[in-house]
Amino acid sequence: MQASKQKFTIHKNDSQKRYFERFLSAFFKVTTYLIIALAGYIFVNIAYNGSKALFIAEAPFINIDFLTQKPQTLHVYEPKEIYDQISQLKSAILELKTRREAIGSSDAQASREIQNNIKVLEAQVQALDQKRKADRLLYSDQQHRALAQEPDQSLYHYKNYAYSGGGVGPAIIGTCLLVLGSITIALILGVLCATYLSEYSKPGPMLQLIRLSILNLSGVPSIVFGLFGFGLFVLLFDWGVSMLAGWLTLAIMALPVIITASEESMRAIPKGFREGSLALGASKWTAIRTNVLPYALPGILTSSIMGIARVAGETAPIMFTAAYALRDRLPWEGLENGSDFFFQGVMALPYHIYVVSSKIPQNEYTRNMQYGAALVFLIIVGFFALSSILLRAKIRKRYKW
Amino acid sequence: MHTTESSETLNTIIEVKDFNFAYGESQALFDIDIDIKEKEVTAFIGPSGCGKSTFLRCFNRMNDLIDIARIKSGSININGINIYDDSVDVIELRKHVGMVFQKSNPFPKSIYENIAYGLRIQGVKDKSKLDQVVEECLRGAAIWDEVKDRLHDSALGMSGGQQQRLCIARALAVKPKILLMDEPCSALDPIATAKVEELIHELKKDYTIIIVTHNMQQAARVSDKTAFFYLGKLIEFDQTDHIFMQPSNPQTEAYVSGRFG
């Protein structure tokens, strides 16, 4: 009897706390799901809008032109009749709107009437717009030039939009080149540095200082790296806007991540492997080369590729050092000698997205390009990340302890 | 070189004189004098932290890996050469003085590659030579029959006892004169331990073996001579029978009879 009574009182006292606990856990849950929903929305949004540029309804289903062609001016021919009707309707709407403004709140009856008229007109505009979209003719620069005969100017209203046609081919190639080059440089420098730090260096204040500087380097804003690369490579070394400058700038940016992660993976290798091979008469370097680096490789590669994939998305470091807004030639076209390859600027997806989103007049056609480029870019970065995971799984299977 | 009064005809291979060794400020070994004979098994016994493993690792200069480790005075001569002389090539030394560690540490490669490693790093590429050495070493470590059908499987698929014997075989591949064993059986079950001990008996014919062990029965079983260490000092060094039957030092007597340690 006593016991049950006590139990009851405890229950009563606790209920408030328990509600608070429940509320708290629900709050955490909501926050987490909110983040997931947000990330999901961003991805779905880009995928949905981007797929309009990337996929087509006919046979290959992938818009090959978008992936391979250069960005071009879009030439648009709209049926003149419809275009004129829309213009008329639009000006009529504008007129009605100004009239409504003039009336203001003095005559509610008249204002409502005008409002209704506007609505009717807007519906008409929308219907005509559908028709306009179905009947209009779109040509990229290339297609436009190839036309045997331009559409009749009396039937069609002509207009052109820069950067709104063609594709992102050179930008894809440029991004891939930038990523591959910078990953090579960053891997070599990073692994050398990590090897020194984890295997050769003696603990002490100097080592602390080095670690601290590396840590600090990872906190430097990307635009600062961009300016540094611009000042050092582009101006001082006089390389101009070049792929090499971009490689080095991106590599320096990725280095902190790569060094830290590589050092971590090398430290994780059991001491027994080093001792075992030293005891067999291996020199220190031989022991590291044969019994530390191979087993640390999965970790090094994964983190490096992830690091580079992140850095590759940065616009700031390349906008001054390596990226062109538009370049007519592909990197291997029109080279006078081999070394020119390294000293040319390239187009790059992140910079291209930046350009088409904020540097050119916006119109209904740029949207396609923006989202299409963003989707392609996401796919490329995802591909790099995926390949690093697969590579890791494969090497990990070979070396397991 | 001073010879003990016993009637052995064996040569002294390791000669340690007034050896003092320290980690930074804390001294680990005090005034050690010991002569180790060729083709004998010498056991180092003593309680944890008495310096026996540290001493063992001085013979192939494994302590070089520790930054703060330093020799305060004294010398270790192997075959008449002071191994701490500046002119000594540590790599060469370690080829002559092999080591087996407490925790078996086969490389995450195939059994074959584990044995061949010592030769490969010396630049041996000849396949038939490698094959021959691998078989020889595995036979020498009495493990050939168990693994001959899976030479190219990962060494990590072996049992703990097999792994330890593989490590011994791996050490044999570079043809050492001396084999250092740092508690080779501490992680093994009695049957695997018996096999390793049997192997030590076999290897005695060709190698000088120094074994550090916590297990006094093991020391009694496998060794010809036993050295008892306590707090960084060599307390007593004599024939194993003497140490276990009638030790001259009361501390040794207390330790081997199990009263402390």
Q: Is the pLDDT of residue A150 over 80?
A: no
In-domain check, residue A67? no
Asked if residue A66 is part of any domain, the answer here is no
User: Given phi > 0 = left and psi -120 to 50 = alpha, else beta, which region is B152?
Assistant: alpha
Asked whether residue B213 is assigned to any structural domain, the reply reads yes
| Cα-Cα-Cα-Cα dihedral sign, residues B55, B60, B61, B66 | negative
Residue B107 touches partner A, C-beta closer than 8 Å: yes
Residues in A closer than 8 angstroms to B62, CB to CB, are: 275, 278-279
- Cα separation of A364 and A366, whole Å? 6
What is the CB neighbour count within 10 angstroms for residue B108? 20
Query: Does residue A372 share a domain with residue A223?
Result: yes
pLDDT at A5: 53
Do A260 and A367 sit in the same domain of this protein?
A: yes
Contact (CB, 8 A) for A63 and A163: no
Tens of pLDDT, residue by residue over B62-92, are 888 888 888 888 999 998 889 998 888 998 9
Least confident of A126-130, A166-170, A334-338, A381-385: A334-338
pLDDT at A7: 54
Interface contact B94-A401, CB threshold 8 A: no
Is B6 among the domain residues?
A: no
Is ipTM strictly over 0.90? no
Whether residue B2 lies inside any domain: the answer is no
Determine the structural domain holding residue B92 and report its residue range: 12-256
Residue A107: pLDDT above 80? Answer: no
pLDDT of residue A310: 79
Query: Cα–Cα distance between A264 and A260 in angstroms, integer?
Result: 6
pLDDT at A1 over 80: no
Closest Cα in chain B, distance from residue A205 (Å) = 15
**Residue pLDDT, tens place only, A61-96:** 888 888 888 888 888 888 888 888 888 888 888 888
Q: Tell me, yes or no, whether A387 and A319 share the same domain.
A: yes
Taking the C-alpha atoms of residue A250 and residue A253, their distance in angstroms, rounded to an integer, is 5
Residue A120, number of CB atoms within 10 A of its CB:
10
Are residues A91 and A46 part of one domain?
A: no
Do residues A156 and A174 share a domain? Answer: no
- Does A372 reside within a domain? yes
Which among A270, A273, A281 has CB closest to B94? A281
- The reply to whether residue B170 touches residue A286, judged by beta carbons under 8 angstroms, is no
**Do B108 and A281 lie within an 8 Å CB cutoff?**
no
Share of chain B above pLDDT 90, in %: 42
Q: Is residue B3 part of a domain?
A: no
CATH code assigned at A267: 1.10.3720.10
| A65 located within any domain | no
Q: Does residue B102 lie within any of the structural domains?
A: yes
Contacts of B135 (CB under 8 A, 6+ apart): B144, B148
Q: Is residue B261 part of a domain?
A: no
A137, pLDDT greater than 90: no
- Looking at the 3D structure of chain A, how many domains does it have? 3
CB contact under 8 A, B62 and A401: no
Torsion of CA B207, B213, B219, B225, to 10 degrees: 50
Query: Are A192 and A102 in the same domain?
Result: no
**Domain carrying residue A86:** 73-166
C-beta atoms of B105 and A290 within 8 A: no
Number of Cβ atoms within 10 Å of the Cβ of A101 = 10
pLDDT above 90 as % of chain A: 24
Q: Is B32 within a domain?
A: yes
Looking at the domain assignment, is residue A236 inside a domain? yes
Is there a single domain that holds both residue A278 and residue A352? yes
pLDDT digits (tens, 9 = 90+) for A3-62: 555 555 555 656 778 888 899 999 999 999 999 999 999 999 999 988 888 888 777 788
Round to whole Å and give the CA distance between A52 and B86. 74
A160 within a domain of the structure (yes/no): yes
The CATH number linked to B161 is 3.40.50.300
Number of domains within chain B? 1
Residue among B107, B118, B167 minimizing CB distance to A281: B118
Could you tell me if residue B185 is inside a domain?
Answer: yes
Q: What is the pLDDT along chain B (261 residues), one digit of tens a residue?
A: 344 444 456 788 899 999 999 998 899 999 999 999 989 999 999 998 888 999 999 999 988 888 888 888 899 999 888 999 888 899 899 999 999 998 888 998 899 999 999 999 888 889 999 999 999 889 888 888 888 899 998 888 888 888 998 999 999 898 899 999 998 888 888 888 888 899 899 889 989 999 999 888 899 999 999 999 999 999 999 999 999 998 889 989 898 888 775
pTM value is 0.78
Average pLDDT for A375-395? 85
